[in-house]
Amino acid sequence: MMAEGNISRERKNELLNKLGSLRRDISSLKASLNNLNNQKESFYEKKNELSKKIVGNIRQIRELKGKRDSLTKLVKEDKSKREEDEKKIDSKISELKELKKKVSEIRKKHNITEDPSRIKDQIEKLEENMETEVISFSKEKGIMKTLKDLKKKYKGAEVVADSWKKLDEVSAELDTLKRERNEIRKKIKNRAGESQKYHEEMIKLSNDIDPLKEEELKMMVKFGEFKTKFTETNNQLKEKINELRKLSEELEKYNIEVAELKKKEENKQLEERSREVEEKLRKGGKLTTEDLLVIQSLDK
């Protein structure tokens, strides 16, 4: 090893100044690198959050589309069933008109003014009363006369009985078909409304995706910019650390202790801080925890 005396004072000072400058540069680059990394990661996290929202929207759109399509299929089936019922209703209405016309012609031909089924109901009710109630002879005689007249009417009306019965049956069938059609209409209205609601939600989520993608792209670009800066700064730091290593090796050749130089530099910084603390005390300023640590260091 060469003795420290084998190096000129000027060269020694030059090396020491360079050492201090390198350490300051490295410290500054580390701080910049840390700041760049924080910003880089911040943009990356924002980009990821936006990506999750986009994926979430797409997933929701798919779910809503499935529900909407299922309802649309049901509405289509209901409309087909409604059309079938409409045809049946039209057919029953035509059949009912024909039966009414037929009954009207028979009633007119045979001078029938009452519905045979109603006459039959009246006969059955009177016969039941006679069997279950205690009635006087005179009242029974009157009932018998009424029954005779009703039976005579019923016999005369029998020619239209079958047609009248068929008329009642077709009328009942028509009422049932109309109720079914009304129920189907309600289903179509409710399902179509629900399907439209899902469709509108899909449109809203879909419209939100484009602005989210634009913002995601901005965050990605920002992330790329700060990643480039981070890489450049990291490369600069590596270069400075490599310079420091080479300088330390050169200083060691001349038996100049780098650790001792570092200690001297720290003491110099401590002295500067102590002067700042003394000035603060002189002005009556409030001391911080860092200030107290500086005082403790001086006492040691």
Q: Is 259 a residue whose pLDDT tops 60?
A: no
Tell me, what's the pLDDT at 202? 94
* % of the chain exceeding 70 in pLDDT: 78
Confidence of residue 207 (pLDDT cuts 50, 70, 90): very high
Cut 0.75: pTM above it: no
**CA dist list (Å): 222 to 39, 165, 234, 269, 296:** 9, 86, 18, 38, 46
182 compared with 264, residue with greater pLDDT: 182
Q: What is the dihedral of CA 10, 11, 13, 16, to 10 degrees?
A: 180
Q: Is 3 a residue whose pLDDT tops 50?
A: no
How distant is the alpha carbon of residue 129 from its chain centre?
71
Tell me, what's the pLDDT at 15? 83
13-22, 61-70, 93-102, 258-267: which range is least confident on average? 258-267
